[in-house]
Amino acid sequence: MTFGSVCSGIEAASVAWHPMGWQCAFTAEIEHFPCAVLEQRWPDSPNLGDINEYKSWPDHSIDILVGGTPCQDFSIAGQRAGMAGSRGGLTMRFLDIARRYKPRFVVWENVPGILSDHTEALHSFLDGLEALGYIVDVEILDAQFFGLAQRRRRVFVCAQSLEALLRQKTDSSALTIAQCWLEILHAVCIAGHNRFASVRASSASASLTADGARRRMKLFGMLADESQWMRLLEHLDAAQARCPVEPGCSDSQNGASQAGGTQAGLLTDLPTANQSTATGARWKNHLAESYAVAKSFITSTSSKTITPLEIFTCSQAVLHIARLISQLNPSLPPFWSAASSALAGLQDFTNYARFANSDLFERVGWILPWHDFIGEAERTNGALGGVGIECFGTVLPLSASMRGNPPPRREPREKIAPTIGSRLKGGGGLGTDAECDGALIAHTFTSEGHDASEDGTGRRVPLVAMTANSISNRYDAESQTLVPNRAGVRRLTPTEVERLFGFPDGYTAIPWRGKPAGKCPDSPRYRALGNSMAVTIMQWIGRRITLANEQSAHHCLP
């Protein structure tokens, strides 16, 4: 794999990915000290400099584009200028570079403050990636769950080229298409539920709006002509042929093909239930008819046009797709996000089914078909239970994506990462393992009172609370009280900060302004490290990209 790195800093990506055999085609950095680190540590990767000059850069063939555009305009410790700021606006320049080099994968990082940016930078960035034809994952990853002794939350966006994904019929492509289709049909259910119910569906999961469903369908080419839809259907058909529905499963008859028209939202001819194994023809009919409903939904100006019959038609497609997902390999990268979407869709369609059956006199004809659906949905839910994080795409999703148990699943006092003492033992660490029993993970602050983990400048000296026994308390038996034991604050050494980010000791100790590496000043090292990505997170993302990339070779379908 070959990657290009922009806003490179001191190249956490190269430190993480070079041991995997990946090659860095180029870097792009303008800050003086990070440029010197790049020249010292990665002399074979040309530094192309200012990303505003990308049009003059040489041509490269890269598999991955990676970078963390400047965060100062998004940080909660900054002025919050957002996209209007000179540095915040560089977020769009990243998209220009992706448009030029057309990598198969994109990895981008920024501070959590971008989530509350008033200029909606993240939405614009994700819209831009989708417009370029990328399927996008978004997740907040915290360094403490990746073996580092610090709390450092960052927004990561990982995207994969849809065209590259669809070049071969794989289980991964089928799962990604299935998730897309489930989320679109889920949006139909939510809109229809709001039309007929006095309260929203009870699922806590986010659902697409009509605009979101339209964007998703546009990304997958479903708004152009039938040929693209048929291309997507081929991926699902191939997976369905490989994973046939188990005999004995009940399946409600196709509502749209059996039922007549509607009047005032009530059926005049109702679907009937049939206990049988789902056939290939019925599977295709359900998907085709639900596709027609979805296209009608996104072009409608009002959710009032959604009828109970249309929701029932979509429910049958959701059930088929969820069954398919439950039978595919859970070790594949997109499985867990697809399964999460299946659970959310089944839950809200089940809620609607129970609502539809609540008035026995008005909707008596729906009792049997919805009863069958509820039974099948609950069985499928059981097969999909225990899934992990919810996001759309192929790189980030994985049930064990976090090291340890991410909140709120983590039990009190459960160990999630090495303590700062055990992690930094030796070379300026806080003490021995025994001394560090009960020590806390570092959450560094600055002398000015700012949170150094999202300062956005890296200029301030990181401080850590400590005691002679590493932040432990001594029990005073006579007074029956807990007495602080010589609590204090000290600065972290540059070597300790390198370890907090996963870099090798001395990585930022370079010859600088006439001084040898052994006398490299601390200030530029602090700043460069404070603006860097966590190496261990980049290692994990690299492994996820590798796994996603290998699906084409090892999980091809006939």
Residue 402 resides in a domain:
no
> Does 105 lie in the same domain as 129?
yes
Q: Which tokens belong to 530?
A: 């404070």
Q: Which tokens belong to 452?
A: 């150094």
C-alpha span between 440 and 437 (Å, rounded) = 9
Question: Which of 279-283, 343-347, 428-432 comes out lowest in average pLDDT?
Answer: 428-432
Residue 124 resides in a domain:
yes
Question: Could you say which of 362, 386, 410 is where a domain stops?
Answer: 386
Beta-strand pair 463-466/473-476: unpaired
Distances (CA, A) of 112 to 9, 77, 157, 452, 493: 19, 11, 12, 13, 26
Residue 308: band (very low, low, confident or very high) from pLDDT cuts 50, 70, 90:
confident
> Does 280 lie in the same domain as 196?
yes
> Does 150 lie in the same domain as 119?
yes
> Does 500 lie in the same domain as 428?
yes
What is the structure's pLDDT at 450? 45
Structural domain of residue 274, as residue ranges? 171-386
> Does 216 lie in the same domain as 101?
no
Residue 250 resides in a domain:
yes
Residue 334: band (very low, low, confident or very high) from pLDDT cuts 50, 70, 90:
confident
Residue 415 resides in a domain:
no
Residue 410 resides in a domain:
no
Judged against a pLDDT cut of 70, whether residue 298 lies above it is answered with yes
> Does 178 lie in the same domain as 159?
no
Residue 264 resides in a domain:
yes
Q: What is the pTM of this model?
A: 0.73
What is the structure's pLDDT at 185? 92
Q: How many domains does the chain have?
A: 3
Residue 556 resides in a domain:
no
> Does 178 lie in the same domain as 151?
no
Q: What percent of the chain has pLDDT over 70?
A: 65
Helix (H, G, I), strand (E, B) or coil at 97: helix
Question: Could you say which of 337, 371, 386 is where a domain stops?
Answer: 386
What is the structure's pLDDT at 77? 62
Residue 411 resides in a domain:
no
> Does 266 lie in the same domain as 220?
yes
Q: Could you tell me if residue 296 is left (phi over 0), alpha (psi between -120 and 50 degrees) or otherwise beta? A: alpha
Query: Mean pLDDT, the chain, as a whole number?
Result: 74
> Does 328 lie in the same domain as 464?
no
Residue 11: band (very low, low, confident or very high) from pLDDT cuts 50, 70, 90:
very high
What is the structure's pLDDT at 397? 47
> Does 541 lie in the same domain as 496?
no
What is the structure's pLDDT at 459? 55
> Does 454 lie in the same domain as 340?
no
> Does 327 lie in the same domain as 463?
no
What is the structure's pLDDT at 516? 96
Tell me if the bond preceding 103 is cis, omega within 30° of 0. Answer: no
Q: What is the pLDDT of residues 478-535, one digit of tens each?
A: 334 444 445 567 788 999 999 999 999 999 999 999 999 999 999 999 999 988 999 9
**CATH number, domain at 21?**
3.40.50.150
H or E segment to which residue 252 belongs: none
**Distance between first and last Cα of the chain:** 26
Question: Could you say which of 366, 386, 406 is where a domain stops?
Answer: 386
Q: Count CA within 13 A, CB hemisphere, residue 308.
A: 29
* Nearest to 338, CA basis, from 405, 409, 387: 387
